Amino acid sequence: MNKAMQKGEKIYQIRTYECDKNSNLRILTLMNILQDMADSHASSIGLGLEFCLKNGLAWVGSNYHLRINRLPKLHETIRVVTWPSAEKALGAVRDFIIYDQDGSVIITASSQWILIDFMRKRPVSLKTHLPTYSIIPERALETDFPKLPEPENTDYQKRFSVRFDDIDINCHVNNAVYPLWATEAVDYEFRNTHFPCEIEIAYKKECHMNEEVEITTQIEDKTTIHSVKALNDNRELARLRIKWQKML
């Protein structure tokens, strides 16, 4: 391990506009916080957006796995810690821990990223393009990002139009939007009384401005399986599995 490598750490205070009707942190905002931490820490070690733009590269998220003991509440202060935890031939794993103000772990997460040649849209080797890349071999969440099943039944469906604000600086739908769509594609009463305690996401294809998407949901007790597809050509954009827990 490179001794100079340090974990990234930042304090966030949960604001009013970041919460849902139950005063819980929105899933969209949680995902944005993880992305912000990943970008900030990558930049701090010289491998962030500026480096990628200069070298024609981009980090593309392929998977997320989150376990949520509870969601932060309005005005709560949280501490988020992140670090690169594993290296693969064409990608890297980055882990996260979120602590509450008492120091208790409330969320653990792991994410998998692929380094691509931005113009060719092809994965490239970390060893070749990031020879000084190093890791901290600790895992916040032990996961190998298993293949997620496709819904076998259609218990719920919902359609969305891609909005301008769904598009990020890479000119496609931001990764944080997909769990937002999936958590909206369940019955309102169920959603109003449950929160996601585990979320697994596998990103498959890019989605762009003005596309229409459809989320198909299969419900098995307190687990939902979701497939997100573009309606114009039926390509699958993402697949998710969410475990839910009843709110106290």
Question: For the chain, which residues score pLDDT lower than 70?
Answer: 1-4
Of 102, 71, 88, the closest CA to residue 144 belongs to 88
Tokens of 39: 């970008």
Residue 68, judged by CB atoms within 10 A of its CB (0-12, 13-18, 19+), counts as: buried
Give the whole-angstrom CA distance, residue 100 versus residue 34. 15
Of 236, 232, 157, 245, the closest CA to residue 202 belongs to 236
Q: What tens digit of pLDDT does each residue of 188-214 get?
A: 999 999 999 999 999 999 999 999 999
Give the whole-angstrom CA distance, residue 215 versus residue 194. 19
pLDDT at 133: 82
pLDDT at 125: 86
37-46 LR contacts (CB < 8 Å, sep 24+): 37/8, 37/10, 37/80, 37/82, 37/96, 38/82, 38/94, 38/111, 38/113, 40/8, 40/10, 41/7, 41/8, 41/82, 41/83, 41/94, 44/8, 45/5
Q: What share of the chain is helix, strand, coil (3-state, %, to 5)?
A: 20, 40, 40
pLDDT at 4: 62
Can you list the domains of the chain with their CATH numbers?
Answer: 8-129 (3.10.129.10), 156-246 (3.10.129.10)
Give the whole-angstrom CA distance, residue 187 versus residue 198. 18
Residue 182, judged by CB atoms within 10 A of its CB (0-12, 13-18, 19+), counts as: buried
CA distances from 178 to 103, 192, 197, 215, 218 (A): 30, 19, 16, 10, 16
Of 46, 57, 61, 34, the closest CA to residue 133 belongs to 46
